[in-house]
Amino acid sequence: MRILVTGGAGFIGSNFVYYELKNHPDDKIVCLDALTYAGNLHTLESAMQNDNFKFVKGDIADREAVYNLFEQEKIDIVVNFAAESHVDRSVENPEIFLKTNIIGTSVLLDACRKYGIRRYHQVSTDEVYGDLPLDRTDLFFTETTPIHTSSPYSSSKAAADLLVQAYHRTYGLPITISRCSNNYGPYHFPEKLIPLMISRALADESLPVYGKGENVRDWLYVEDHCSAIDLIIRKGKDGEVYNIGGHNERTNLEVVKTILKVLQKPESLITYVTDRPGHDLRYAIDPTKIHNELGWLPTTKFDDGIKKTIKWYLDNKPWWEEILKGDYQNYYEKMYGNR
């Protein structure tokens, strides 16, 4: 099988590349990534040693480049991770989110139509369902929950999902979509909550918690997300949406306090800053469908996964210190300077 992984130099895409190379050593993986601020080739250094892996630098919205790639590589399966993925950046500058997440997806879909594929898989997010109230812990997102987005990021992801479904209905393209909750684990870019808090706590810097820290996220260890996608692309049914999550709900404050406890740092590092505009209150996934139909179950509980993740950041300091030295520092000043 020849699998095109777009966005494979980012957080989840790179974990997926390693998952596939390990679990399906006979498959060939081609990674297409534009290497934006979020893409890091260092992450793929070990994969580069593998003859069954090939890296191509390119933009999913560049039609000519994408068509050339499909022509050369004879792709069987596309897994589209490539995206602008940070909600706060989408609040600052929505346009690039529309270009990459919507136009980019449409170019990939057109390439699939033109060259033929066995499966196009869209890596989507639970954020397309909007949010749930904090005081209704009995409610969960199912695959039939209406799309109801809050941020430019989630709106662009929802638009992409609708296009993917339209290409199935209109052109019969064999597609699947997965909508996953928040991931955490190795190679997570240090602008997102968990790696940001780990790196700042290690430097004894203040930890910026939005609002009162009451918002709830359903955290999934990244390898569990990869195993779910792997099952969907091989055994999932054409045209279907699968929610992925593992009932690991935590408030942001609980997450930050857990990190401080594991690192033996004081809670006085926590600073409450102005809330994110339009901040979603609670995400929570009902994963019954993927469990019943494909037998998927997550294997890592949050309390174990967070310890593994912190250990990874302690063992791999050069990976994230390099990132912090670069452009990201200016970004931090811009985002948090006046909060």
**Could you list the active site residues?**
126-127, 153
Question: What is the DSSP track for 82-111?
Answer: -S---HHHHHH--HHHIIIIIIIHHHHHHH
Nearer Cβ to ligand NAD (35/270): 35
Q: How far is the CB of 157 from ligand TYD (least distance, A)?
A: 10
Cβ closer to ligand NAD: 269 or 306? 306
Q: Residues with Cβ < 8 Å from 297, sequence gap 6 or more?
A: 291
CB of 129 to ligand TYD, least distance (A): 13
**Strand-pair category, 77-80 with 119-125:** parallel
Nearer to ligand NAD, 100 or 215 (CB): 100
Name the one range near ligand NAD by CB under 6 A: 87-95, 109-117, 175-183, 297-305: 175-183
How far lies 96's CA from each of 27, 84, 103, 121, in Å? 32, 7, 10, 22
Question: Shortest gap between Cβ of 270 and ligand NAD (angstroms)?
Answer: 22
Residues 181-210, mask of contacts with ligand NAD (x by CB under 6 A): -xx-----x---------------------
Q: Cβ 281 to ligand TYD, closest distance in Å?
A: 9
Q: Is 255 in the site for ligand NAD (CB under 6 A)?
A: no
CA distances from 248 to 128, 239, 254, 302, 325 (A): 19, 28, 12, 6, 32
Query: Could you tell which of ligand NAD, ligand TYD, none binds residue 61, using a CB distance below 5 to 8 A set by kind?
Result: ligand NAD
Least Å from the CB of residue 112 to ligand TYD: 27
Q: Which amino acid type is present at position 33?
A: D
Site for ligand NAD in 1-30 (CB under 6 A): 6-7, 9-13
Residue placing its CB nearer to ligand TYD in the complex, 168 or 217? 217
Buried-exposed string 171-187: b where 16+ CB fall within 10 A, e elsewhere: eebbbbbbbbbbbbbbb
What does the binding site for ligand TYD look like in residue numbers (CB under 6 A)? 87, 182, 192-193, 196, 208-210, 215, 217, 252, 276
Provide the b/e sequence for 241-268 (b: ≥16 CB within 10 Å): bbbbbbbbbbbbbebbbbbbebeebeee
Distance CA(282)–CA(129), nearest Å, equals: 11
For residue 315, with 0-12 CB atoms within 10 Å meaning exposed, 13-18 middle and 19 or more buried, which class applies? exposed
DSSP bridge pairs for 121: 79, 176
Residue with smaller CB distance to ligand NAD, 10 or 186? 10
89 phi-psi bin (left φ>0, alpha ψ -120 to 50, beta other): alpha
* Residue 284 is a binding residue for ligand NAD (CB under 6 A): no
**From the CB of 52, what's the least distance to ligand TYD, in Å?**
32
Closest to ligand TYD by CB, 56 or 335: 335
| Residue 232 in the binding site for ligand NAD (CB under 6 A) | no
The correct pick among 2, 36, 91, 211 for binding ligand NAD (CB under 6 A) is: 36
Pairwise CA distance, residues 199 & 191, whole Å: 10
264: Cα separation from own chain's centroid: 29
Looking at 5, 31, 47, 82, which residue binds ligand NAD (CB under 6 A)?
A: 82
The footprint of ligand NAD (CB under 6 A) covers 6-7, 9-13, 33-36, 38-39, 59-61, 81-85, 100, 104, 123, 125, 157, 180, 182-183, 189
